[in-house]
């Protein structure tokens, strides 16, 4: 993987760049739709490419490991062949899923012992076998095993957790460097900065991760219960240390406003389930604000879902029609909303890139934050 930093905003730390992988180029800043089980819920690959204009998608190691399982994925020739997506894929390590299954897991120095949410069977993730698992899945970018602490974790616990994540990283890196990809194309390994909401821990972790000299770096453990302003502060602390010539991936974040604030602070890559999960529940993101499509006010509004979104809105669908579909519990409602929200997110980061290159990002971002925060 290669990264070219193409432009930096003169009034902020926002950046425009290009990541090159064996499955294609990614122009940053970029949002990655989440394909947990090898599919973005309710969305065809054709729609991902043509309507949403996704350049890279994310798969989840924990879920793919359990279903369909590594044997099937290896026989298929990896996830690209299995799901028909021929552009880049990133896989997380499963660390966040294990964190969210706190009642069914036990952390040890060796790794994480957990029980499947499907059938209760017992498994273990170690820094080494998570590398092997992601080798078999075949993602272009794979992540280190880490522990994601809650945003409210006490200092002592956060420090202990960070130190274990660092020890796991050394083991994972050693194993990654001693093994080869399985399907004839290269894979890249990203370490993850942890440290909860404590400035000194975040600094220590960022310095440790930066010292490993990998092709890219991730920021984890944010948007997990802490206030947004604290999250922004932690991003600033970390990005002061992470190398500027490597892409920075903020994991699991977030709202459109979160994304713009993080871009301003020097983040290049994002993923989040919000556009699809919220879309399935009737929440739509637009250039002028947020809409709840179940509200009666849309019942006789025959204007397009996002009148300003000429580049990503299917104007065949009106607000009134989409509301009708949600009230009638038609599956098409969830599909339209998911495609719309993902297309909006990709439009947002693409437009941010254009504004960075044009030198107008700071002013554009300020006006967009006001509009994106509005409830319509």
Residue 289: pLDDT over 80:
yes
Q: How far apart are CA 168 and CA 90, in angstroms?
A: 20
Q: Region 106-135: what's the mean pLDDT? A: 93
**Which residues have CB under 8 Å from 245's CB, separation 6+?**
3, 5
pLDDT in tens, 301-341: 999 999 888 777 777 899 999 999 999 999 999 999 999 99
pLDDT in tens, 333-344: 999 999 999 999
Residues 4 and 244: beta-carbon distance below 8 Å: no
Q: Region 242-262: what's the mean pLDDT? A: 97
Residues annotated as catalytic (active site), given as ranges: 92, 271
Q: How far apart are CA 373 and CA 376, in angstroms?
A: 10
DSSP three-state, residue 256: helix
pLDDT in tens, 221-246: 998 889 999 999 999 999 999 999 99
The pLDDT value recorded for residue 37 is 92
Residue 155: pLDDT over 80:
yes
Rounded to whole angstroms, what are the CA distances from 200 to 14, 30, 225, 238?
24, 29, 19, 10
74 confidence band (pLDDT: 50, 70, 90): very high
Q: Region 34-58: what's the mean pLDDT? A: 95
Residues 139 and 79: beta-carbon distance below 8 Å: yes
HSE-up (13 A, CA, CB side) for residue 345:
32
Rounded to whole angstroms, what are the CA distances from 375 to 6, 132, 196, 253, 297?
35, 45, 30, 20, 13
HSE-up (13 A, CA, CB side) for residue 317:
20
Residue 101: pLDDT over 70:
no
Average pLDDT, the chain: 95
Residues 202 and 234: beta-carbon distance below 8 Å: yes
Q: How far apart are CA 249 and CA 260, in angstroms?
A: 14
Question: Scanning the structure block, which residue is given the tokens 């556009």?
Answer: 275
Q: How far apart are CA 50 and CA 47, in angstroms?
A: 5
Beta bridge partners of 141: 90, 188
What backbone phi and psi angles, to 5 degrees, belong to 158?
A: -60, -40
Q: How far apart are the first and last CA of the chain?
A: 42
The pLDDT value recorded for residue 324 is 98
Residues 326 and 306: beta-carbon distance below 8 Å: no
Q: How far apart are CA 286 and CA 376, in angstroms?
A: 10
Give 50-116 as a DSSP string: HTS--S-EEEEHHHHHHTT-HHHHHHHTSHHHHHT--S-EEEE-SHHHHHHTGGGEEE-SS-EEEE-
Q: Region 89-111: what's the mean pLDDT? A: 82
**Which residues have CB under 8 Å from 3's CB, separation 6+?**
17, 18, 19, 20, 215, 216, 245, 246, 247
Read off the tokens for 323. Answer: 């509301």
Please tell me whether the peptide bond between 68 and the residue prior to it is cis, using omega within 30 degrees of 0.
Answer: yes
The pLDDT value recorded for residue 102 is 63
pLDDT in tens, 133-145: 999 999 999 999 9
5 confidence band (pLDDT: 50, 70, 90): very high
The pLDDT value recorded for residue 117 is 87
The pLDDT value recorded for residue 333 is 97
What backbone phi and psi angles, to 5 degrees, belong to 323?
A: -60, -45
The pLDDT value recorded for residue 95 is 74
187: phi > 0 → left, psi -120 to 50 → alpha, else beta; which?
beta
Q: How far apart are CA 47 and CA 59, in angstroms?
A: 17
Q: How far apart are CA 358 and CA 342, in angstroms?
A: 24
Beta bridge partners of 264: none
């Amino acid at each position: 993987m290669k990264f070219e930093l193409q432009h930096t905003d003169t009034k902020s730390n926002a950046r425009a760049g290009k990541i090159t992988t064996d499955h294609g180029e990614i122009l940053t800043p970029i949002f990655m739709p989440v394909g947990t089980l090898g599919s973005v819920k309710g969305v065809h690959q054709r729609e991902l490419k043509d309507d949403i204009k996704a350049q890279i998608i994310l798969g989840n190691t924990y879920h793919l490991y359990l279903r369909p399982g590594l044997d099937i994925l290896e026989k298929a020739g990896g996830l690209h062949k299995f799901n028909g997506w021929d552009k880049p894929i990133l896989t997380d390590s499963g660390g966040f899923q294990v964190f969210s299954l706190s009642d069914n897991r036990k952390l040890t120095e060796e790794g994480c012992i957990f029980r499947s949410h499907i059938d209760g069977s017992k498994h273990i993730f170690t820094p080494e076998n998570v590398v092997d698992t992601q080798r078999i899945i075949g993602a272009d970018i794979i992540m280190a095993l880490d522990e994601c602490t809650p945003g409210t974790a006490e200092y002592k616990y956060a420090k202990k957790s960070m130190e274990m994540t660092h020890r796991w990283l050394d083991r994972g890196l050693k194993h990654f460097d001693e093994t080869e990809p399985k399907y004839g194309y290269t894979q890249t390994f990203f370490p993850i900065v942890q440290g909860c909401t404590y400035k000194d821990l975040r600094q220590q972790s960022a310095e440790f991760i930066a010292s490993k000299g990998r092709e890219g770096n991730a920021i984890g453990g944010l948007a997990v219960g802490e206030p947004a302003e604290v999250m922004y502060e932690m991003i600033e602390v970390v990005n002061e240390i992470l190398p500027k010539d490597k892409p920075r991936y903020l994991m699991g974040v977030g709202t459109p406003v979160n994304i713009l604030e993080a871009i301003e602070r020097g983040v290049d890559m994002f993923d989040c389930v919000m556009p699809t999960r919220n879309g399935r529940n009737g929440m739509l993101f637009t250039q002028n604000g947020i809409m709840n499509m179940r509200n009666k006010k849309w019942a006789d509004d025959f204007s397009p879902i996002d009148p300003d979104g000429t580049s990503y809105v299917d104007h065949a669908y009106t607000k009134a029609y989409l509301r009708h579909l949600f009230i009638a519990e038609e599956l098409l409602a969830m599909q339209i909303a998911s495609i719309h929200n993902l297309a909006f997110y990709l439009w947002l980061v693409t437009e941010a890139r254009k504004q960075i290159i044009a030198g107008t990002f700071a002013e554009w971002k300020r006006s967009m934050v006001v509009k994106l925060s509005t409830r319509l």
